[in-house]
Structure 1
Amino acid sequence: MEFVIKISQFLLSLSLLIVLHELGHFIPAKAFKTKVEKFYLFFDVKYSLFKKKIGETVYGIGWLPLGGYVKIAGMIDESMDKEQMAQPPQPWEFRSKPAWQRLIIMLGGVTVNFVLAYVIFVFVSFFYGDTDIKIDSLKGGYLIENPVLLDAGFETGDKVLAINDQKIEKDSEIGQYIIGAEQMTIERDGQEKVINLPENFLGQLSDEGSKNLFRYRYPFIVESVPDTSANASADIQPDDIILGIGGKKMEYFDLFETELQNYKGQTVTAEVLRGDETITRDLKVTQEGKLGVFRLIDAKRFTELGYYEVTRRDYSFGESWVAGGTKFTSTLVNYWSQLKAIFNPSTGAYKGLGGFKAIYDIFPDFWSWEAFWKLTAFLSIMLAVLNLLPIPALDGGHVMFLLYEMVSGSKPSEKFLERAQIVGFFILIALVLFANGNDIFKAVTR
């Protein structure tokens, strides 16, 4: 069931983005009376799942879900229709249109992606508002278990104060600014400390593979005790808070995980808070160092107990346009920083480059419209930025040659454009193979 939910979100988001991106090319092409021969969601290699001709355009759905396309007459694209290009130019063809019209047609897709992302962020702000955790409210700081963070000098209990020169006030800002970070300022035992990060920090995180970086510290609250547990008859009830074992007080669950290793296969006395009363119970510890109880993970309960403070900000419809713009800008800047890091070999960030599985993995295994729309907005920005790269066969490659034509007054020959398209196609294939190969490598090695 979890697979069905994740793949449904993945395909719905991908389909929406592809159709709207191609619509961004289609609308100006039609507005400038340019013939559009095909409009496809996914690629129709050899055959189509569905197709129907309406007017001069064939609309269809291909079987290969790696993207989509519009085939514009008289344009050198991935179809490499040399027979058409060998004929004299016709007034309805792309190559016969003025350069400024061709530029608008080529920029239409990424423009729609940028506008779509902004609009989504606006309505997400309006309908869901912003919920976050204040850094200075974190009781006990962060739990640090990631080996890369430990090697860099972080310790459990640290609070993040700044990344580079950017002051960090909310938990969500850590993920936003950590890409490209060179140093982080933390608070440890009431003292500020600067931790310099290695140049290949992102590469190390990718090699390690864990997504757990800065985690909250929770108390040990009992959710339930299964009938199969060795402590099923130990009078441990839901919502009991285990305060310590063996005479040691422990405020956070991560401390129990370590201490229980000293009592494997033994019985230990636990101090338990039930309501306003503190009681003791003798609990059996398994050979694996576990108590055999399910612990409660409840943000509302942790907030009530003072372990952190959750902030909530709601926006009016007018305010949402400003809030959406802020989110759009920060996401765009953050992704651009990530892309620059990927193309800088010394950072090792290229190791984290992923393909379709990586995109699939970012969707939650439960249905959340808020998460779906936020991820769709991010992917829309990602699609726009990648399409603007000056690689022949991408929109950015076509734009590069059009700008050259407009500045120099000289149009590159069709033979040159055909060869450039072939080179760009092989570059794209190499990038796709590398990204998806990374996915396969990670799946096999981890």
Structure 2
Amino acid sequence: MDITIRILQLLFSLSILVFIHELGHYSMARFFGARVEKFYLFFNPWFSLCKWTSKRSGTTYGIGWLPLGGYCKIAGMIDESMDTDAMKSEPKPDEFRSKSAFARLMIMAGGVLFNVILAFIIYTGIILVWGNKVLPSDRVTAGMTFSETAKSVGFEDGDVILRVDDRVSPNVLDSRFISSLIKAKSVTVRRGTEERVIPIPEDMMTRLLKAEEGFGALRLPFVIDSVMPTSPAKGLLQHGDHIIGVDSLVCSDIAEVQQALQARKGHEVQLLIDRSGSPIAQRVQLDSLGNIGVLLQSAEHLYPIEHVSYNILSAVPAGIDRAIQTTSSYISGLKYIFTREGARQMGGLGTMGKLFPSSFDWQSFWSITAFLSIILAVMNILPIPALDGGHILFIIIEMIRRKPLSDKAMTYIQTVGLVLLMALMLYANGNDIYRAFFK
């Protein structure tokens, strides 16, 4: 069921993104007077679920049966369909090839432009509807748990982040918080009663990619919210109990408690509990999975999280800022794709599907969709043949040399681009399959 929910969310999200992307091409084509032959959501090999042809424009609108994208076929353009028959006739005034270089450039940039605008709109809507949550890093009293790579440069579990370069107590709930730690020159932490400055090496991201692990995560204490009716701990544990030890092991956070319980599944254990400041020991029987049958308090109950509300006037610049920062962060990370470590981390549809939660949540869905819209825009603007960026590059070259490339050259370049693109897609999705079945 979890996989099904993720797949449905991915398909819904991609349908929105592809529709908006192709709508950008369509809108620019119509604006500059280029004829659009077909405008489809999903692909339609052999047949369409439904279609309709406009008598006024001649455009065929339809929905295909293969939910893996969509397309906008513009007359007089060599695109991924590789339909070159129409190119043998004399150019017509309403064809793409008859338009000025500037008009063609804007038509090709329309998809990327609309995806960027969509990200702005979604981020603005998220901020307007749900606001923003702020938790300064110095208020996370339990600190963070760090990966082995992060520990190798000086971090220790339990360190409380005080400063990242010159930023004091950054918001740990900001999606850019972890990346800011990785990119920083130095991070100041509180360890016990002391402050320590940890220099961050320039190749920190490369080290993490090579080790195939993250940087770290917030530490959350194991504080019980409620005890399930069927739990063997019913009557022994209660709301607010903070488990700080299992048998003789001292545990600082949820991960350590769960690890200790997993090691003793099916057995009886002694839990050391902090109950309203008083230490209490309780013996509890674990089930075969190492569970005690409790629900835990979320970060919002454990830490003083501030909820910031916005009106439409303040939400718009905040949404634009979030989109710009997300785009900048994604672009800066693209350089790692061209390293051996980064290439191994590439993923396809499986990786995208894992971005979505296993239970549907509108805020998460729209946040991930906005992020994917930025990815789609950035990837499409890359100067690779068969992508929008490849077409834009050739148009810019034409504007410089004042002479277009021949149809034969464009066909050859487009073919090479499609082969490279297919190879890249196979490699990325192959990584997903390898990780799923062989790691």
TM-score by length of 2: 0.87
Deviation at 1:6, TM superposition (A): 2.2
SS in 2 for 1:69: strand
Q: 1:332 aligns with which of 327, 330, 355?
A: 327
Contact 1:260 1:285 in 2 (8 A): no
Deviation of the 1:416 alpha carbon: 0.9
Matched, 1:154 2:155: yes
1:391/1:228 Cα in 2 relative to 1: closer, same or farther (>3 Å)? same
| Kept after mapping to 1: 8 A contact 2:158/2:219 | no
Q: Which amino acid aligns with 1:90?
A: K
**Number of aligned residue pairs:** 433
Cα deviations by residue, 1:283-316 (Å, 9 ceiling, x for unpaired): 14669995734252333431xxxxx321221112
Taking a change above 3 Å as real, the CA distance of residues 261 and 26 of structure 1, as seen in their structure-2 partners, is closer
Residue 191 of structure 1 aligns with which residue?
195
- Equivalent residue for 1:417, pick from 410, 416, 420: 410
How far residue 320 of structure 1 moved from its aligned partner, in angstroms, is 0.9
- For 2:94, give the aligned amino acid: W
Give 1:36-75 correspondences, 5 Å limit.
Answer: 36-55=36-55, 56-75=58-77
The 2-side partners of 1:392 and 1:325 are apart by: 30
1:208 to 202, 207, 212: 212
Letter in 1 for 2:145: L
Matches within 5 A, 1:269-288: 270-273=272-275, 278=278, 280-284=280-284
Deviates more, 1:262-271 or 1:211-220: 262-271
Q: 2:396 corresponds to which letter in structure 1?
A: L
Match of 2:104 among 102, 105, 126: 102
**Gapped regions of structure 2 (runs ≥ 5):** none
| Aligned counterpart, 2:387 | 394
In the TM superposition, what is the alpha-carbon distance from 1:409 to its structure 2 partner? 0.9
Q: Give the conservation status (yes or no) of the 8 Å contact 1:39–1:69.
A: yes
Structure 1 Cα separation of the partners of residues 130 and 272 of structure 2:
42
Distance 2:269 2:319 in 1: 55
Residue in 2 that maps onto 1:296: 296
1:370 aligns with 2:372: no
1:38 maps to amino acid: K
User: Which residue of structure 1 aligns with residue 134 of structure 2?
Assistant: 132
Quick one: which of 82, 85, 95 aligns to 1:83?
85
Contact 2:187–2:198, Cα closer than 8 Å, also in 1: yes
Corresponding residue for 1:26? 26
- Superposed CA offset, 1:418-439 (max 9, x none): 1110111111111111111111
Are the equivalent residues in 2 in contact too, given 1:24–1:112 (CA < 8 A)? yes
Task: Tell whether the 8 Å contact from 1:331 to 1:378 is kept in structure 2 after alignment.
Answer: yes
The aligned amino acid for 2:316 is W
Q: Matched residues in 2 for 1:435 and 1:269: separation?
A: 46
- How far did residue 381 of structure 1 move? 1.1
Q: Distance in 1 between matches of 2:209 and 2:90?
A: 55
In structure 1, what residue type is equivalent to 2:221? Y
| SS of match in other structure, 1:214 | strand
Counterpart for residue 380 of structure 1: 373
Q: 1:436 to 1:253 in 2, by over 3 A?
A: closer
**Distance 1:191-1:185 versus aligned 2 partners, 3 A rule:** closer
Q: 1:357 aligns with which of 336, 350, 353?
A: 350
Report the AA paired with residue 65 of structure 2.
Answer: W
Q: Once the two structures are aligned, what percentage of the paired residues are identical?
A: 36
Deviates more, 1:45-54 or 1:112-121: 45-54
Aligned AA (1:12): F
One-letter code of the match for 1:432? M
Shift of 1:133: 1.8
Q: Which residue of 2 aligns with 1:305?
A: none
Shift of 1:25: 0.9
Deviations 1:198-248 (A, max 9, x none): 737456447536x6831223144363266463x55x733344334556699
**Change in CA separation of 1:125 and 1:301 when aligned onto 2, cut-off 3 Å:** closer
> Alpha-carbon deviations, 1:383-420, whole Å to 9, x = none?
11111000111111111111111122111111111111
Question: Which residue number in structure 1 is paired with residue 238 of structure 2?
Answer: 237
User: Is the Cα contact below 8 Å between 1:220 and 1:252 reproduced in 2?
Assistant: no
CA RMSD of superposed structures (Å)? 3.2
User: In 2, Cα distance between the equivalents of 1:394 and 1:378?
Assistant: 19
Match of 1:430 in 2: 423
Confirm whether residue 316 of structure 1 aligns to residue 311 of structure 2: yes
Compared with structure 1, are the counterparts of its residues 411 and 258 closer, same or farther at alpha carbon in structure 2 (3 Å cutoff)?
A: closer
